[in-house]
Chains A and B, each alone.
Chain A
């Protein structure tokens, strides 16, 4: 394949970037956006190769003018069943980040509460603060995990915080 002139490549890249930005605003994950951009880039190249004459930036713009506008992709994404809420094959960026945070808060809260219990025990203090840390962090982790329940780490945080909260409840009931 002969590489395209730089100005033609720039026109194509500009269009693909605009589509990428339009669907990115809908919360579509990077891998899916890259997949769509690859298909689209391939289509533009094929359309250019099929058109007679020299390939230049003006021809690239003419070909692109025949394609759907970036806003059409954004509208399509809003209509895709379940896609706006849960992008294809992966969680959206916010849920993706929230899951590990929730898991970290759950486990971190457990560790900090245990340290607080040990330190408090050594100083002869009642374990109230440790209990508050424990319950508070598990509650935060549970809410965050619930928000990120579509991701594996979000589900793990949900289960982890639920089990740890249950353990505390059993401990409180038994004492």
Chain B
């Protein structure tokens, strides 16, 4: 299977089918992430579409040695920010809908339990140094400075470790390749 970057380079080289493949890979993820900002269905679809339009217009700026995911996500967040800014100036209805949505559709307890279990299992599959930082940051809710003091590293080094840990965590969770043979209460992975 081609990597995202290979697909992007193929698209820059004129392979239009590569665009469809990139869209299939990233549109659901963009939908999932941008949904957190409370847009309406139309706004959400528009944001995803605009993100890919920007990918097309900026395709010659993509560096062959670059990573596509952060490149595309930064475009999406910048577009979302501008949409948010416009919505703030426009009819109250758009913002009201957003505010109202915050209270809508509480997840059921079973689903919540499953998600937390998966997350916990995935954290335990991380390498020890990343696991420690992610656990302290995400579970125990310490700041990077506090974690740095605790593990004897600078806040910058902790950030780098957290970044790697979250990247690995996201890959584990999205692949569904999580081992259940871990004792959650033990708190540490193999």
Whether both chains belong to one complex is answered with no
Interface residues of B (CB under 8 A from A): none
Interface residues of A (CB under 8 A from B): none
